[in-house]
Structure formats: C-alpha cells, structure tokens
Amino acid sequence: MGSLVRTGISLDSELLARFDQTIAKKGYGSRSEAIRDLVRGLAIASDVTQNKVVVATLTVVYDHHRPNLSERLIEAQHHYYGKVLAMTHVHLDARNCLEVIIVKGRGTEVQELADHILSLRGVKHGKLVITTTGTRLK
C-alpha cells in the first residue's frame, strides 16, 4: 500500500457548495473521504470491465418449504468450492429465508455462480453486489 498524498482539484464554487451539502446529509466527515469513495467506485467498475479478481456478495430470498431447494443451494455452493468464502442464513419468518453468499473470483466466474443460483426454481429474488478484495484500494 502507498503513502497518503495530497492532490488539488479545481471546481466551481457553487458545485463545491452543493457537494458539501450532499455529503453532509450523507454523514461524511470530510471532502477527501467522500471523494475517495467516488474514486474507489470508479476503480471497482474498472476491475469488473477487466475481469480482475473481485469479492462479491449474492443475496438470495427463498422459501425453504420448497422441496429440495436448500439441498440444491448447498450443492451449488459446493460446486464452486474455493470461490465461496462464507454463507449466512437468516430466518425471515416461518417459510422465508435470506441467504448471503460471499464469493471471490474473476468477474465472469462470480456472474456464472450467481446466474446458476438465481435460476433455481423457488428462489424468489436475488441480487449480486460486486466489490473489491480491498488489497489494491486504500
């Protein structure tokens, strides 16, 4: 990891005032922190485009009364053994479950795993979030 550096940016004073207002509402403590977040977002989007290794979380809601679905979800995760880092299960109510599956791999592998799981019969909804391994982002 690198050292902390400072860089200057120039922008219109009104645009800056609106920026300050927006980030205050979101709770940021400083301009630098808010801009770092924007810059990191750009870096992650660029990792995805270049099919680099990313970390992702797949959120899935399903009905565990559906025959064999839990088994097929476990099976799918084992099929991608080595890519799945962890899984958390929450009991939403008597029937409904939410699972978050945390995976690490190239963008295309992660997408394939998500497509496979989201297409299982009985999965009500799901979404993939792609983020960073953190190592190249400070």
By CB under 8 A, the residues from 33 to 72 that bind a second copy are 33-44, 46, 55, 57, 59, 61-63
Instruction: Give the residue, chosen from 48, 96, 106, 109, that forms a contact with a second copy under the rule CB under 8 A.
Output: 96
Minimum Å gap between C-beta 81 and a second copy is 16
Residue 84's contacts (CB-CB under 8 Å, 6 or more residues apart) are 77, 78, 101, 102, 103, 113
75 is a site residue for a second copy (CB under 8 A)? no
Identity at 85, one-letter amino acid code: L
106 is a site residue for a second copy (CB under 8 A)? no
Minimum Å gap between C-beta 70 and a second copy is 14
Contact yes or no for 61/54 (Cβ under 8 A): no
Contact yes or no for 103/89 (Cβ under 8 A): no
Q: How big is the site for a second copy, counted in residues (CB under 8 A)?
A: 81
